[in-house]
Amino acid sequence: MTPEIRKRALVDSFAKLDIRAQIKNPVMFLVYLSAIATTLIFFLGLFGIKDAGSAYVAAIAIILWLTVLFGNYAESIAEGRGKAQAAALRSTRKDVKAHRKLPDGTFEEVSSTDLRKGDIVRVVAGEQIPADGDVIAGAASVDESAITGESAPVIRESGGDRSAVTGGTNVLSDQLEIQVSNNPGESFLDKMISMVEGAARKKTPNEIALQIFLIALTLIFIVVCIALYAYSDFVAKQLGMSNPTSITSLVALLVCLAPTTIGALLSSIGIAGMSRLNDANVLAMSGRAIEAAGDVDILMLDKTGTITLGNRQASEFMPAPGVDEKELADAAQLSSLADQTAEGRSIVVLAKHYGIRERQHTENYHFIEFSARTKMSGVDYDGHEIRKGAVDAIAQYLAAKGKSIPEETYHHVDHVARLGGTPLVVVKDYEVMGVVYLKDIVKDGVAAQFSALRTMGIKTIMITGDNPVTAAAIAAEAGVDDFLAEATPEGKLDMIKKFQKAGHLVAMTGDGTNDAPALAQADVAVAMNTGTQAAKEAGNMVDLDSSPTKLIEIVRIGKQLLMTRGALTTFSFANDVAKYFAIIPAMFVGLFPQLGVLNIMGLSSGESAILSAIIYNALIIVALIPLALKGVKYRAVPAAQLLKRNLLVYGLGGVVAPFIAIKIIDLILHFTIGL
């Protein structure tokens, strides 16, 4: 909460006194009307109201206006960060010149606002990408720091799952041809601005349900207060005395009975939850998605990059019969000297453990780069041929010379697969040297994370293109509950539908066009920012960092939102118990002296009791703003245990705290102004 945000929130608090803004929150609208009513009573003194124009009425009116302003301030503070983020994003949005491709293949210079969906533009190094789209030709380094906050440039290229580009980012090298995917005003940046400033935030189903409940309670309390006034008036007439219950006190009772605390903070809790998601560099396309994240009980996670590091590492050399382990290491290292992949470098490093160091390749070495068609790589030198690659590829390579892979080597291959690794067969001059075991390294700590999720009742499912044997081994090591091997778009979609049909809420991540159907079906669908436009359109969240592990953090933020709302609702209702004991005896003790025994706080007078309760009612809103914005601390515990803790801390605490606070305020009023 920077000084700028606090200053803007203060101004917005008064701007929100507009009746059109107040009526959106029915509970606080009641306080708003009560403040107007007591103000009129003070100034006009109409209808023979006995305490009209008194300092007591003025004090009640002022406190009620402050209560409304405090509620406005809570919401404005929550909105403040989003507005600041939106202002920063707007500063990056510029009307730039674009080079649009004409049907004859030439290019014309137009304004970016003239571009329409389907247009093709060319962007060269040093230029800003004018609109969202997909790369259809070329590859380039792109600076996306204005959108993601990440200073390191990324590669965008045609074909594959890294073809989507965002308007407002800058091309640093080479050039791209981009097909525009959105019309003006519908860009990703426009959506970001709209979401982070809260303009497009719609109330979630749970928020709506809670608000309906709060409205129903408020209506009941209005009826109760009217009935109490009518009854006290009837009793007073029977006793031949004037009604000691004033309308001002009745209004104060109504405000204290109504659930104003949670009513004032409900909106800010939801806005703050979205802000926490923005801080995690995740853009939620709807508040419903954040809330659903707190309710999900099935997580579908990609293996590569989420559960495993994604870069396989050489772990062991398994020589063929009659081959020395050092000979295998020598051949594997020779074939990997020019291999700049993580796997290739790890083979070179592992071979050094056998004393094979400081080897320099020269012009006599002709390196064969890996090809998706051949599934092999290698080196030719001094009349020798070394190849390493997938089992089936090496088998075909040997078959051309009438040779085959020994049975013992196949045993090594099966063993590696059962361990969850990738086997690479190495051959030299068409003789099998052995197998390199590439291990898919499971990330540190993921097993503990999955265990915590299991404790919370969340089932984790690993999605992988590996064969079932390999998938089972990695799943066992990582500690996931289930896995989907040899995953296809249809397989993912069918699995999600099956879980949803059984009553589960499913969350998943994806980045490719083939993930779009499953993302569209999932309850919480996180698309990677580096992914295709189709994936981002299908998802209801976009991870600007493109981190597959972000899904776990999103679930935590969603659960924290629900925990915060539940805790503050419990605290709000528990608060009312103390306010009843403060106000009701004070209001009706003149008619029913027996009610004096309920003045267990020993409040000094009736007016002091009512003022103390309504002052507390206003101040508690301010006191709870930090908790509403920061959220209740996340704890990975079962729902029953969490409920028990919330009832103890926020339920019991909500009963005890106001008793103490109201008594302190009463003493201050008694010793300062003599009430």
Active site residues per annotation = 302
Burial 386-409 (b: 16+ CB within 10 A, else e): bbbbbbebbbebbeeeeeebeebb
Strand-pairing partners, residue 368, are: 378
Helix (H) and strand (E) counts in the chain: 23, 21
Q: Which of 260, 290, 327, 240 is nearest to 563 (CA)?
A: 290
Rounded to 5°, angle at Cα 521 from 515 and 524: 90
The answer to whether 336 is annotated as binding is no
Helices marked H in 400-445: 407-418
114 is in an annotated binding site: no
Q: In this structure, are strands 422-428 and 384-389 parallel, antiparallel, or unpaired?
A: antiparallel
Which residues sit opposite 228 in a β-bridge?
none
Question: What is the distance between the alpha carbons of residues 486 and 516, in angstroms, rounded to a whole number?
Answer: 18
**Would strands 459-463 and 482-484 be described as parallel, antiparallel, or unpaired?**
parallel
Give the strand order in the sheet containing 384-389. Answer: 313-319, 431-439, 422-428, 384-389, 376-381, 366-368
Asked if 586 contacts 606 with a C-beta cutoff of 8 angstroms, the reply is yes
Known binding residue 370? Answer is yes
**339 among the known binding-site residues?**
yes
Q: Is 433 annotated as a binding residue?
A: no
Q: How far apart are CA 41 and CA 38, in angstroms?
A: 5
Per-residue H/E/C for 51-99: CCCCHHHHHHHHHHHHHHHHHHHHHHHHHHHHHHHHHHHHHHCCCCEEE
Name, in order, each residue with C-beta under 8 angstroms of 401's C-beta and a sequence gap of 6 or more: 430
> In angstroms, rounded to a whole number, what is the distance separating the alpha carbons of residues 93 and 130?
9
Confirm or deny that 343 is annotated as ligand binding: yes
Quick one: which of 584, 563, 572, 567 has its CA closest to 638? 563
Burial class (CB in 10 A: 0-12, 13-18, 19+), 47: exposed
| C-alpha angle 525-206-454 in degrees, rounded to nearest 5 | 55
Phi, psi of 346 (to 5 degrees): -70, -30
How are strands ordered across the β-sheet holding 459-463? 282-284, 541-543, 524-528, 506-510, 298-302, 459-463, 482-484
Site of tokens 């590439």: 438
- The rounded distance, in Å, linking the Cα atoms of 198 and 49 is 44
How many C-alpha atoms does 392 have within 13 Å on its Cβ side?
A: 4
CB 141 within 8 A of CB 171: yes
Query: Which residue type, as a one-letter code, is found at position 334?
Result: L
Please state, in angstroms and rounded to a whole number, the distance separating the CA atoms of residues 571 and 576. Answer: 9
**Is 371 annotated as a binding-site member?**
yes
Radius of gyration of the chain, Cα coordinates, nearest whole angstrom? 34
Record the tokens describing residue 198, joined without a space: 């809260």
Is 76 assigned to a binding site? no
Closest to 132 measured CA to CA, from 532, 444, 592:
532
Q: Match 């809420």 to its residue by tokens.
A: 505
Binding residues for ATP: 339, 343, 370-377, 388
Binding residues for Mg(2+): 511, 515
Binding residues: 339, 343, 370-377, 388, 511, 515
